[in-house]
A and B are shown apart, each in its own frame.
Chain A
Amino acid sequence: MVQLKRLSIWIGYLVVMLVLPQFFDSILSVSIFNQMAIAIVFALSYNMLLGQGGMLSFGHAVYFGFGGFLAVHTLIMIEFETVYFSILFIPLIGGVFGLLAAIFIGSFSTHKAGTVFAMISLGMGELIAASSLIFVGFFGGEAGISGDRTYGPPFFGVEFLRDVEIYYVAVFWVFIATVFMYLFTQTPAGRMANAVRDNPERAEFIGYSARKVRFISFCAAGLFAGIAGGLFALNYEFITEETLNATTSGRVLLMAYIGGLGYFIGPIVGAVILTLMNSLLSNYSDLWMLYLGVMFLLTVLFLPRGFAGFIMMHQVAWVRGTIKQLALPYLLTGVPALLVMLSAIALIEMSHVEADVLQFIGFTLEPALLTDWLMVGIVGTGSLFAVRKSLPRLRDAWDSANTIPSEGGS
Chain B
Amino acid sequence: MLEIFIFATLNGLVTGLLLFMLASGLTLIFSMMGVLNFAHASFYMLGAYFAYSVSLYFGFWMGLIFAPLIVGVLGAVVERYGLRRVHQSGHVAELVFTFGLAFLIEEAVQFFWGPDTKNYQAPDILDFPLFTLFGQEFSAYRGFMIGISLSIFITLYHILTRSRIGIIIQAAITHPNTVANLGHNVPLIFMGVFGVGTALAGLAGVIAGPVLTTFPGMSIALGSIVFVIVVIGGLGSLAGAFIASLLIGLLQSYAIASDVGMPELLNLLGLEFERSHPLNDLWTLNLPRIAPILPFLLLVLVLIFRPTGLLGKREE
Contact = CB atoms under 8 A, between A and B. Distances in A.
Contacts of A290: 104, 107-108, 110-111
A281 interface: no
Given A115-B235, A119-B227, A253 B96 contact: yes
B228 interface: yes
Interface in A24-74: 50, 54, 56, 58
Interface string A205-223: 0000000000000000000
B307 A116 contact: yes
Interface in B63-118: 82, 85-86, 89, 91-93, 95-97, 99-101, 103-104, 107-108, 110-111
Interface string A131-145: 100111110000000
Contacts of A135: 281-282
Interface in A269-284: none
Interface string A228-265: 00000000000000000010001001100100000000
B92 A54 contact: yes
Main secondary structure of the interface of B (DSSP, over half): helix
B224 interface: yes
Main secondary structure of the interface of A (DSSP, over half): helix
B281 A123 contact: no
Interface string A172-192: 000000000000000000000
B99 A119 contact: no
A127 interface: yes
A134 B290 contact: yes
A348 B36 CA distance: 31
Contacts of A294: 104
A58 B111 CA distance: 26
A293 B97 contact: no
A314 interface: no
Contacts of B307: 111-112, 116
Nearest to B298: A123
A304 interface: yes
A119, A257, A290, A352 interface centre (most CB from chain B within 10 Å): A119
Interface residues of B, number: 44
A118 B95 contact: yes
A300 B96 contact: yes
Given A114-B91, A123-B228, A293 B103 contact: yes
Given A115-B36, A126-B224, A352-B111, A296 B103 contact: yes
Nearest to B231: A119
Interface string A276-312: 0000000000010110111011001100100000000
Nearest to A137: B281
Contacts of B107: 287, 289-290, 292-293
Contacts of B97: 297, 300-301
Contacts of A112: 307, 316
Interface string A118-160: 1110111011001100111110000000000000000000000
Contacts of A114: 91, 316
Contact of B300 (A50, A127, A130, A253): A127
Contacts of A385: none
Contact of B297 (A50, A108, A127, A138): A127
B281 A136 contact: yes
Interface string B280-301: 1110010001101100110110
A261 B121 CA distance: 46
B220 interface: yes
Nearest to A134: B289
Interface residues of A, number: 43
A122 to B, nearest CB: 6
A58, A123, A137 interface centre (most CB from chain B within 10 Å): A123
B304 A56 contact: no
Contact of A300 (B93, B282, B299): B93
Contact of A293 (B85, B100, B231, B280): B100
B122 interface: no
Contact of A304 (B89, B110, B282): B89
Nearest to A290: B107
B189 interface: no
A112 B220 CA distance: 26
Contacts of A122: 224, 227
B316 A257 contact: no
Interface in A73-100: none
A135 B293 CA distance: 13
A313 to B, nearest CB: 15
Contact of A296 (B104, B111, B231, B285): B104
Interface string B177-189: 0000000000000
A142 B269 CA distance: 32
B270 interface: no
B54 interface: no
A250 B290 CA distance: 24
Contact of B296 (A111, A127, A137, A293): A127
A5 B69 CA distance: 59
26 contacts: A56-B92, A112-B316, A116-B316, A119-B36, A120-B300, A123-B228, A123-B296, A123-B300, A124-B300, A126-B293, A127-B300, A131-B293, A134-B281, A137-B278, A253-B96, A254-B100, A257-B96, A287-B107, A290-B104, A290-B107, A290-B110, A292-B103, A292-B107, A297-B97, A300-B89, A301-B85
Given A112-B316, A119-B227, A300-B86, 8 more contacts: A115-B91, A118-B36, A134-B289, A135-B282, A250-B99, A254-B103, A257-B96, A289-B107
List 4 A-B pairs, minimum CB-CB distance, nearest first.
A293-B104, A123-B299, A290-B107, A127-B296
